[in-house]
Amino acid sequence: MDTVEIWLVRHGQTQFNLIGRLSGWSDIALTELGRAQARALRPLLEGREYHGVWSSDLPRAIETARLAWGEPTPDRRLREIDFGDYEGLSFETVPPQAQQALLEYDGFFAPGGESLRDLELRVEAFLNTLPKGRHLVFTHGGVVRGMLHGLGPERYAANGSIAVMDWTQRRLLALHDNPIPREPAPAPAN
């Protein structure tokens, strides 16, 4: 392979994802649905050779990697954005201008934390060190969105989704939703 191909995987659902809180650098565990989403990734990832398997150093990303693939190499640079003073708040309680900046992915800065540009620079510094080949990276929604920013229509990275990109050419190759929907399907009527 003459390029750096990156498979960016967002971790499975957490309790904060479920209730709409900003989790950033907080240590929030996967829910049972999040664990199921992680296990559901295994068939999508198997059968390919990866030159490296990496994850954020936060437990929700590491657990997703272990359930979906195996043991990753953790790296702090793959963490979610540092939400600083907004950490743990519900989206609705964040000031309206910050909400808008997050939704538009433009100009967001968390007081006491990072800006979106800080996040992008941190993650790009990691990705730029990867040798040619295919790499599997377990990370967070903000990281996935940041790396895809400007590569086409903005897309929210759902829990357990995969974005495949040619990092060398900065091209999006594929997007894969998780086989398990966010909410469990209703039981069939008898």
What is the predicted pLDDT for the residue at 34?
96
135 is catalytic: no
As a whole number, mean pLDDT of residues 12-18 equals: 92
pLDDT, residue 24, reads 92
Q: Contact, 159 vs 86, CB < 8 A?
A: no
Please, what is the average pLDDT of the chain? Answer: 91
pLDDT tens sequence across 154-182: 667 889 999 999 999 999 999 999 988 76
Q: Characterize the bridge pairing of strands 4-10 and 133-139.
A: parallel
pTM recorded for the entire structure: 0.92
* Predicted pLDDT of residue 164: 96
pLDDT at 188: 41
Residue 183 pLDDT greater than 60, yes or no: no
Q: Give the separation between CA 186 and CA 184, rounded to whole angstroms.
A: 6
| 185 Rama sector, left if φ>0, alpha if ψ -120 to 50, beta otherwise | beta
Which alpha helices (H) appear in the chain, and where do they start and end?
A: 15-19, 32-45, 59-68, 96-104, 116-127, 141-148
Segment 97-125, tens digit of pLDDT: 999 998 888 899 999 999 999 999 999 99
Render pLDDT for 41-92 as a digit per residue (tens, 0 to 9).
999 999 999 999 999 999 999 999 999 999 999 999 999 999 999 999 999 9
In whole angstroms, how far apart are CA 99 and each of 96, 155, 159?
5, 16, 20
Give the whole-angstrom CA distance, residue 36 versus residue 109.
33
Q: Give pLDDT, residue 157.
A: 84
| Token pair recorded at residue 170 | 């900065």
148-181: b (≥16 Cβ within 10 Å) or e: beeeeeeeebbbbbbbbbebeeeebeebeebebe
Domains with residue ranges and CATH for the chain: 4-176 (3.40.50.1240)
In the predicted model, what is the mean pLDDT of residues 138-154? 86
User: Of 11, 87, 135, 140, which one is the catalytic site residue?
Assistant: 11
Catalytic residue, from 51, 63, 71, 80: name it: 80
Whether 11 is a known active-site residue: answer: yes
Maximum CA pair distance of the chain?
A: 55
Tokens of 140: 């967070």
Q: What is the pLDDT of residue 185?
A: 43
Q: Are 62 and 56 in contact (CB under 8 A)?
A: yes
- In percent, the amount of the chain with pLDDT more than 70 equals 93
